[in-house]
Amino acid sequence: MDVNLLVLQLLNGLALGVLYLLIASGLSVIFGMTDIINFAHGALYMLGAYVGLSVIDATGSFWLALLLAPLSIGVVGVFLERTTLHRIYDRDPLYHIILTFGLTLMLSDAVEFIWGKSPQQFPGPDAITGAVALGPIFYPKYKLFLIVAGIAVAGGVWLLFEKTNFGLIVRGGAQSRQTVRIMGINISNYFTLVFGLAAVLAGVAGVLAGPFLNVTPTMGDQIIITAFIVVVVGGLGSFRGSVVAALLIGLVQSLGTVFVPQLTGFLVYLLMILVLLVRPQGLLGEYEVRSDSTKVTFSEIIEPVSITDKRALGLLGVLALVPLGMGSLYSPYFVGLLSLMFIWALLALSLDMVMGYMGLLSFGHAAFFGIGAYATGLFTMHVFNSFVAAAAVAIVVAAGVAWIIGALSIRLTGVYFAMITLAFAQMFHQLALTWNDVTGGSDGLTGMPTVDLFGAGLVSLGDTATFYYFALFVTVAAYVVTVKLLDSPFGRVVTAIRESERRVSFLGYDTNVYKRRAFALSGAIGGLAGALLATYQTFVSAGTLHWVVSGDVVIAMMFGGIGTLFGPMFGAGLFIGLQEILSSYTDQWRFVLGLLLVLTVMVAPRGLITVYSSVRDAVRLRMGSGGGPQRDAATDGGENR
């Protein structure tokens, strides 16, 4: 072993770990105080780099940028907290995640609009350019400065929280908000200050990362997942844990790049999975996540729409007529777009079984979507060109993988379950990128044939209208089966677990068995959606497995209405449609989509499907208070279903 190379990589790992610490420490203090998983933190880090770049362009001073940019990002953080998150602290944690995801879309597109998409160079200060001799090796001065500055900032944050009255109040609020309120302290103001401080730390990290990494609009997306892993491995809400985990992960990545390069993309995820399975609260976590923030719950149960409902039959009738206008009223592209909506509706249906009916936050469903797509592509290319046979394989493989993931992680809840499922999905994404001989690597799986339904050459799914009708049939059939399943004794137990798992356990049910089976069934539906996607595109890419796909499905579910089955399916179609329409009018369509998502979370948290009934009930209430006709609540209760 080359000792000089080892020392060099240890220093690189330390520099990388300090950068992770600056980002993760902000995430950690936010979660410790508010239980919020802030996806927008990566966007604030990215924004800090760009604001710092602008200050340097205007003044020529890196040091002034290091002062002004973080303060500016702190102001942005305070503004975002007061106008959005401040209003929904009492909501389910899922809404916090989705809202910050929407803020990320808005900030990322705003940066692209102002600074452009091209990578930009971030000049470092002249005083610390070049390298310095450390014995027999030379090491960049700037990286040494990054290590020292990062440790100094982290030390200052530790002193603030451990040795000041401000820190005492924040730590007290993290343990019991009600107790702090009883003492006459306005804890909401401290929430805002903590969020602003975390944003300042993100800004500091962005400026310090500028000369170290490329400055691009996607730099936040690339680092936020690693920062979340740092927080989870260290212990949610534990600053000391974040310090240890950040340095550990930085070293693991740096050493892995040189000594086990084939495993570099897997090591961090494997580390998090191992920690979550052995010690879910993290290396130095002192407490579990509060019980009221561990699962998705709803104050109102909205029953799925029956397929025999006249509204459902009317919609199906309209959809059945769509291909008849192809070529005269609209192009085949429009029909194909509707087919893509059906595929995403199927994926949303699969995730709703987990999130809406089991109450578990999952950010790993892209794994089953991608596995189904790859299984179908490989089967039709190398075994037999039949969708029926390929889809059967895709369903079995996806369900099997889901069962294994469920067996390992289903005992976890809330944020822990979300992060372990994300880790598994990212490992499959990395596998698809690196297993070139099988998956095609970053080029994707090319050369797929036009898929035949049965393999006899009688029904080609390459025909736009044929595939449309088939995708519609599969989606409707999957919905009907899922509704029947959830209305069965098995489904009622699963739903009861969402409401009170302890009570179900007292009744003698093995809740882990039920959750594992439901998770496997959900994975099977996700695999079927992937099979349809591969058939539709005749191409499969590793991007299908990426965590962003899981995030997009959660967004779609939010638009429609989580926990209703039909709501997420409607939301998926709306999500795809909005992407298509908005992108045809503006390059900043993600900003508009993010804004709509934020407004939906704040105004219609149960999704757009509830807007009609809410407006109707408000009108009836207004008419009733004015002496108009009133309906008896006992006879009107079923119309919300």
Tokens of 545: 């497995």
Q: Are 608 and 561 in contact (CB under 8 A)?
A: yes
If you compute the radius of gyration of the chain from its CA atoms, what whole number of angstroms results? 26
Q: Picking from 5-19, 176-190, 197-211, 449-463, which range would have the lowest pLDDT averaged per residue? A: 176-190
User: Taking 90 as the threshold, does the pLDDT of residue 619 lie above it?
Assistant: no
The answer, yes or no, to whether residue 606 has pLDDT greater than 90, is: no
- Cβ distance 579 to 593 under 8 Å? yes
3-state helix, strand, coil in the chain (%, to 5): 75, 0, 25
Confidence at 630, pLDDT banded by 50, 70, 90: very low
**CA-CA distance, 622 to 628, in Å (whole number)?**
8
Q: Are 568 and 348 in contact (CB under 8 A)?
A: yes
Residue 296 in this model has a pLDDT that exceeds 70: no
Please state the rounded mean pLDDT for residues 16-35: 87
| Max mean pLDDT range (70-79, 120-129, 248-257, 263-272) | 70-79
pLDDT score of 360: 86
- pLDDT value of position 618: 66
Residue 637 pLDDT > 60: no
Confidence category of residue 247, pLDDT binned at 50, 70, 90: very high
Residue 626 has what pLDDT?
Answer: 52
Which helix (DSSP H) or strand (DSSP E) does residue 32 occupy? Answer: helix 3-34
Q: Does the pLDDT of residue 287 top 80, yes or no?
A: no
Span 623-637, average pLDDT: 47
C-alpha span between 236 and 242 (Å, rounded): 8
In the numeric block, the tokens 């002249």 are attached to 126
pLDDT value of residue 359: 83
- The dihedral over CA atoms of 48, 50, 53, 57, expressed in degrees to the nearest 10, equals -130
Rounded Cα distance, 238 and 284, in Å = 7
Say which residue the tokens 């609020």 belong to. 173
Average pLDDT over residues 105-116: 93
Beta bridge partners of 132: 139
* Report for 38-52, 223-237, 299-313, 622-636: range of highest mean pLDDT: 38-52
Region 189-203 average pLDDT = 92
What residue spans define the domains of the chain? Answer: 3-116+131-293, 310-606, 610-640
* pTM of the full structure: 0.88
* Longest CA pairwise span in the chain (Å): 90
The least confident of 28-37, 43-52, 218-227, 256-265 is 28-37
Average pLDDT, the chain: 88
Per residue in 142-172, pLDDT tens? 999 999 999 999 999 999 988 899 888 887 8
pLDDT in tens, 464-508: 999 999 999 999 999 999 999 999 999 999 989 888 888 999 989
Structure tokens at 199: 């944003």
Do domains 3-116+131-293 and 310-606 share one topology? The answer is yes
What CA–CA distance (Å, rounded) separates 142 from 445?
42
Mean pLDDT over 282-298 rounds to 59
pLDDT above 50 for 634: no
Give long-range contacts, CB 8 A cutoff, 24+ apart: 241-246.
Answer: 241/28, 241/282, 241/283, 241/284, 241/285, 242/21, 242/24, 242/25, 242/27, 242/28, 243/21, 243/25, 243/154, 244/283, 244/284, 245/24, 245/282, 245/283, 246/17, 246/18, 246/20, 246/21, 246/24, 246/25
What are phi and psi for residue 3, nearest 5 degrees?
-65, -40
Q: What is the pLDDT of residues 341-397, one digit of tens each?
A: 999 999 999 999 999 888 888 889 999 999 999 999 999 999 999 999 999 999 999
177: pLDDT strictly greater than 80: no
pLDDT over threshold 70, residue 633 = no
- Helices 414-434 and 366-382, interaxial angle, to 10°? 30
What does the alpha-carbon distance between residue 210 and residue 46 come to, in Å, rounded to a whole number?
A: 9
Per-residue model confidence (pLDDT) at position 286 = 63
pLDDT tens, 558-581? 899 888 899 999 999 999 999 999
Q: How many CB atoms lie within 10 A of CB 167?
A: 17
**How close are the terminal C-alpha atoms of the chain, in Å?**
67
How far, in whole angstroms, is CA 60 from its chain's centroid?
Answer: 38
Report, as an integer, the average pLDDT of 82-90: 87
Asked if the model's pLDDT at residue 112 lies above 60, the reply is yes
pLDDT at 300: 62
- Cβ contacts of residue 575 below 8 Å, gap of 6+? 344, 552, 555, 556, 559
Lowest-pLDDT choice from 63-72, 521-530, 558-567: 558-567
| Interval 109-117 mean pLDDT | 93
Q: C-alpha angle 593/342/98, rounded to 5°?
A: 35
Decide if 81 contacts 191 (C-beta within 8 A): yes
The answer to whether residue 641 scores a pLDDT higher than 90 is no
3-state secondary structure of 140: strand
Q: How is residue 95 written in tokens?
A: 């809404």
Q: Is the pLDDT of residue 613 over 80?
A: no
Counting residues of the chain whose pLDDT is more than 70, the rounded percentage is 93
Per-residue confidence (pLDDT) for residue 636, from 0 to 100: 42
Please report the pLDDT score of residue 34 as a whole number. Answer: 75
Q: How far is CA 518 from the centre of its chain?
A: 21
- Across the range 416-428, mean pLDDT stands at 92
Residue 289 has pLDDT above 80, yes or no: no
The SS3 of residue 446 is coil
Range 532-557 burial, b when 16+ CB lie within 10 A, else e:
bbbbbbbbbbbebbbbebbbbbbbbb
Residue 299 has pLDDT above 70, yes or no: no
How far is residue 286 CA from its own chain's centroid? 26
Q: Closest Cα to residue 376, out of 516, 228, 526?
A: 526
| Apex 405 CA angle, 402 and 411, nearest 5 | 120
Return the percentage of the chain with pLDDT > 90, whole number: 57
Query: Using an 8 Å Cβ cutoff, are 523 and 353 in contact?
Result: no
pLDDT at 640: 39
Please give the pLDDT value at position 290. 46
pLDDT computed for residue 151 by the predictor = 92
CATH 1.10.150 fits 310-606, yes or no: no
Q: How confident is the model at residue 297 (pLDDT cuts 50, 70, 90)?
A: low
| Domain topology for 3-116+131-293 | ABC transporter involved in vitamin B12 uptake, BtuC (1.10.3470)
In this predicted structure, the answer to whether residue 64 has a pLDDT above a threshold of 50 is yes
Does pLDDT of 456 surpass 70? yes
* Whether the predicted pLDDT of 60 surpasses 80: yes
